[in-house]
Amino acid sequence: MKALHIVAFILVAVGGLNWGMIGLGSLMSGADWNMVAKILGSWPQVESIVYLLVGISTVWLIIGHKKECRMCVGGGSM
């Protein structure tokens, strides 16, 4: 389960950074800074699979967060 958690975390991080780049590009110059589309644009099916995996990873992390998060389980403070 730890490996799945790590993969899910990486995919969510990629998705979050991609959304940040899209927002930043839109605010600064109206440009399209969608890095996933730029990297995989010639393979629309693969691009869609990446977006689907990011979404599934997000759901997986939300569901398993309480169990996996050291701050939540250990009662740690921020």
Residue 75 within a domain = no
Residue type, 6: I
Residue 21 within a domain = yes
Residue 70 within a domain = no
CA dist 7 and 55 (Å) reads: 13
Q: Which domain holds residue 53?
A: 2-64
Residue 77 within a domain = no
Which pLDDT tens digit goes with each residue over 25-65?
A: 888 888 888 998 999 988 989 988 999 999 898 888 888 87
Q: Is the pLDDT of residue 77 over 60?
A: no
Structure pTM? 0.70
Residue 26 within a domain = yes
Give mean pLDDT, residues 7-35: 89
Is there a contact between 11 and 18 (Cβ–Cβ < 8 Å)? Answer: no
Residue 74 within a domain = no
Residue 32 within a domain = yes
The count of domains in the chain is 1
